[in-house]
Each structure stands twice: as structure tokens, then as C-alpha cells.
Amino acid sequence: MKNETIVLLDFGAQYNQLIARRVREANVYCELLPWNSDIEKIKALEPKGIILTGGPASVYAPDAPLPDKAVFSLGVPVLGICYGMQSMCHVLGGKIAKAEKREYGKKDIVLKPSPLFLGPETKTTCWMSHTDQVETAPAGFVSAARTETCPNAAVMDTERRFFGVQFHPEVEHTPFGGDMLRRFLYDICGCSGDWHVGGFVKECVASLREELKGHKVLCALSGGVDSSVAAVLTHKAIGKDLTCVFLDHGLLRRDEGDQVEAVFRKDFDMELVRVNCEERFLQKLAGVREPEEKRKIIGAEFINVFEEEAKRLGRCDILIQGTIYPDVIESGGPSAQVIKSHHNVGGLPEVMDFKAVVEPLRNLFKDEVRAVGLELGIPEFLVNRQPFPGPGLAVRVIGEITAEKLRILKDADAIFRAELEENGAAKAIDQYFAVLTDMRSVGVMGDGRTYDYLLALRAVTTTDFMTADWADIPHDLLRKISNRITNEVDHINRVVYDITQKPPATIEWE
């Protein structure tokens, strides 16, 4: 069954994926396409509506990205957000100008009665980020909202069902944004909300069963949620014709390799090949301190080991990848035939001995993948596994990586995680982990002087991982965690807690 579809035309928005997620969260399927997508491709999707995203350009720049005027002749509703609103108004004959006063951040706004903002005139707040604004709306448009310095903070042409907002409804800083998007989707576009995870699982398994019939299939299993869900979906479709290859390179958290093996070998009775290659990876990383070099070495070696195992097994002619929709978007747009350099297994080579590459999750966002995982019965600890860097603990050990430093970090990280979870603090934190720094400091234990490692703890709260705040963990709990780590883990004599927001910091240290 074909789902109702909303098309998002992307003009380089910082929040393009967030807009798409908000639409999906409203149970409406959407696809994100480049702004200059062929009009026939857009029409082929039979969209119920179109959303024009924001972007960094000015409509008067020589190479400004502008929507094809044919978009506005499809007979479907259009919503322009930020630059999307400006580009729509420009193409339809309005005038865009530099704002007398740029608006960035939280701003007061007055919403006028309209199909987007039901009810009487309302004063509220929104999130702005613009230099240009609509000075004169096109013929047929009227103002639908205003701020102190932006008289056309929203515009509308209700007869043609064209709407534009200068603010960002997709971010949590616009409190009415979610309701506004749902009104556009349901009241204006007439969507029924037919996008559900349960339906996806049934249709995907049936599709895989048909597509993979008669083939032997190989899945590169990292232990992360994406490749895990792809593996279980495929296993439900073809059973023993699937073989999973799990490379345990020693850079996972404590006991994770054993947990992954137990889940897939015992809970799902899969054909699983576990390759224990920690020593091989440590040899490649010996003496390497620079984080980007670590990433390249790990990615390349992952490919080498996987290719060796694929050739050894020999009998498989189809490769399953856990590619998800953000990977597709970040790799230059949807393309069903391309093996990408950006995905969760570190970048497989373009030439391998497979007849085809199948990506069952390529249209799903991370939160949707997690929901599918729970629907499939994958244990919650694996489905809700926190974001974990592709190079694993290699970028949470600052400086050179050794087996001893990895042991220290794994033990300390396990204590941190266990205490947060056992004391009920973990549920309010979106990501938490320990970092073994390359710094040593003087300490005292018993009657003796020590000169050992400084360990940093990191815990953040966030809704989209684009911005993040440090988590306010109770001081008594931090004290307990620090005491346990310094008493139970050798070679750590000092623990610090990172209280830096993102930005200016990133969530990971490297």
C-alpha cells in the first residue's frame, strides 16, 4: 500500500531533517528532495502537499536556489519555512528585502486568525533566524503573523492554499510549531495519518521475502541499532539464508560483544559469525594520537576484515546494510543504486563480490528504526542503545590507544552508566559516557603519592543532538560515582564533570 506523501524540497536548511522528523512524528510519510528536483519526479510521488525548507541563501544572490514555478501549479498546498517562504514569495512576484533589524533566537509574535493558527489573535513566542524578510507579499497573499520588526512573519493565500512562515515551527523553541504543522498536514493537505511502524514491518518483511528469494545473504552487523534492526527484519523474511558477520574490534563498551552475540545467536537463532579482531585493530592503532587518523584507520581495517570474511564465506551474493534516511540525505540525496561512503559500517568499497546491496531501512529516521526494533522484539537495551561513535571507544580515549587504557575506560564507564541507571537519573539524560583523558595528575591514596589518569564524565540533555545542555546530575550521586571509580578502577585518581553546552562544545570530545 502506498502511503500518503508530503514532499520536502531542501534549500540547505540546518534543520531539514528535523522538519522531516516532525512530519513523520505526525504519522505522515515524507521524502526530502533537493530543491532543484525534476518536477516530474515530484509529481510521480503524488504529494498531498509540499514544504519548502529554510536555507542560508538570499533570493537575490546570482546563484540563489529557487523553486521551479511549476511547483505552484500542482494544485497541492505549499508551506514555505524561513528561506522557503522568501523563495516562494519571490517566485510568485513578491518583494524580499534586508530586514532593518535582523531577528535571531526567541522572539515575541502575534498570530492572526488563519487555517494555520486557529482561534483569535494570539500573542506568543517563536524561534527566528533570518536577515532577509518579505517586504511585499505576492498578489493574493495577506499577512498572517507579525513581530515587532517583521510585519510579514507569516503570509497566506487561502484560495490557492499557499502559506509561508518566517520562523521555525520545527524547533521546540516555537511552542505552537507542532500544532501548526499538524494543521497544515491534516486540515490543509487532508492527510489521514497512515504512516505507522507496524505497517512498515509487515510490508518490509514481505518485500524482502520476495526480493531475496533464492539468494544467500550477508549482513555486516556492528551491534548498533541500525544494523541490528536490518538483520532481524531480513531474518524474519529469509531465516537461515541470512548470515551475519559481527566484527568485535575491542572498541565496544564492556561486555557489549557478548551481549550482541547472545541476542542474535540465542534470542533470534541467527547464523552468526563473530570475528574477534581486537589485537589486529590495536596493532593498526599503535602510536596513533590524532582522532581523524584513528577514524580512517578503523574504517579501513573494518573493510579489510569484512571483505576477508565475505570471501571466506563465499556463498553469499547479496549484502544487507543498515543505512538509514539521514545517511542517504547526508550522502547527497536519495539514490537507490549507490553504495555510499557514509553509513554505519564505516564505508564499504564500491566494488565487492555481491550482485546487489539491499537497504531495508533507507527510508527511516533513527527514532523510527528504534520503534521498528521494539516491534520486532529486539531487547530494549539494544534498541535504545545510546548514540555511539562509529570508531567506538577509540575517540573516547584521548591520545594513543592501548589495551590497558581501553580496560580502564570500560571499567570506569560501566560504573558511571550503572550508577545513573540504578539511581533513576538515566531516564532524564539523553547521552552519557566517560572519557579517558591523556592528562595525568598528582594524587594520594593511602600514604602514597600517585600520578595517574584524569577521567572526564559527560552527560547531556537534548531533543535533536544539534544543541545540548549538560545534565544537572545530583551532587551526591556525582560524589558516589567519583568515589567508586577512584576506588575500584586502577590508574584513575581524579574525576571531573564536563559542564559545557553544545555549542560551543560538541557532545563527544573527539
CATH number of the domain residue 479 falls in: 3.30.300.10
Q: Are residues 89 and 236 in the same domain?
A: no
Of 4, 31, 103, 170, which one is the catalytic site residue? 170
State the pairing for strand pair 271-276/318-320.
unpaired
Residue at 503 is within a domain: no
Q: Which residues pair with 457 in a beta bridge?
A: 434, 497
Residue at 154 is within a domain: yes
pLDDT of residue 22: 92
Residue at 395 is within a domain: no
The answer to whether the CB of 237 falls within 8 A of the CB of 214 is no
pLDDT of residue 339: 28
Q: Are residues 181 and 205 in the same domain?
A: no
**60-69, 147-156, 441-450: segment of lowest average pLDDT:** 441-450
Catalytic site residue 168? yes
Catalytic site residue 342? no
pLDDT of residue 208: 95
Q: What amino acid is encoded at 68 in this protein?
A: D
Q: Are residues 164 and 215 in the same domain?
A: no
Residue at 429 is within a domain: yes
Q: What is the DSSP letter of 129?
A: E
**143-147, 207-211, 228-232, 500-504: segment of lowest average pLDDT:** 500-504
Q: Are residues 211 and 101 in the same domain?
A: no
**Which cell numbers in the block locate residue 204?**
518490509
Catalytic site residue 277? no
CATH number of the domain that 301 lies in? 3.40.50.620
From 164, 188, 212, give the residue that closes a domain: 188
Q: Are residues 29 and 136 in the same domain?
A: yes
Number of domains in the chain: 3
Q: What is the DSSP letter of 241?
A: G
Q: Are residues 281 and 425 in the same domain?
A: no
CB within 8 A of 338, min separation 6: which ones?
A: 331
Q: Are residues 201 and 184 in the same domain?
A: no
12: three-class secondary structure by DSSP: coil
From 188, 215, 247, give the residue that closes a domain: 188
Question: How would residue 300 be classed by pLDDT, with cut points 50, 70 and 90?
Answer: confident
- In this predicted structure, the answer to whether residue 306 has a pLDDT above a threshold of 80 is yes
In angstroms, rounded to a whole number, what is the distance separating the alpha carbons of residues 55 and 169?
14
Q: Are residues 24 and 171 in the same domain?
A: yes
Interhelix angle for 291-313 vs 278-285, to 10°?
A: 140
pLDDT of residue 492: 96
Of 30, 82, 150, 191, which one is the catalytic site residue? 82
Interhelix angle for 366-376 vs 225-238, to 10°?
A: 40
Residue at 335 is within a domain: yes
CATH number of the domain that 168 lies in? 3.40.50.880
Q: Is 27 or 99 the better-scoring residue by pLDDT?
A: 27
Question: How would residue 349 be classed by pLDDT, with cut points 50, 70 and 90?
Answer: low
Q: Are residues 246 and 377 in the same domain?
A: yes
Structural domain that includes position 489: 402-497
Q: Are residues 175 and 201 in the same domain?
A: no
Residue at 342 is within a domain: yes
Q: Are residues 414 and 451 in the same domain?
A: yes
From 188, 212, 231, give the residue that closes a domain: 188
- The CA–CA distances, whole Å, from 298 to 247, 249, 290, 348 equal 12, 9, 13, 12
- In this predicted structure, the answer to whether residue 172 has a pLDDT above a threshold of 90 is no
Of 168, 235, 249, 343, which one is the catalytic site residue? 168
Residue at 175 is within a domain: yes
Residue at 206 is within a domain: yes
In angstroms, rounded to a whole number, what is the distance separating the alpha carbons of residues 510 and 502?
14
Q: Are residues 181 and 203 in the same domain?
A: no
**221-225, 374-378, 440-444, 496-500: segment of lowest average pLDDT:** 221-225
What is the number of alpha carbons within 13 Å of residue 243 lying toward its C-beta?
18
293 closest CA partner among 439, 401, 387: 401
- In this predicted structure, the answer to whether residue 244 has a pLDDT above a threshold of 90 is yes
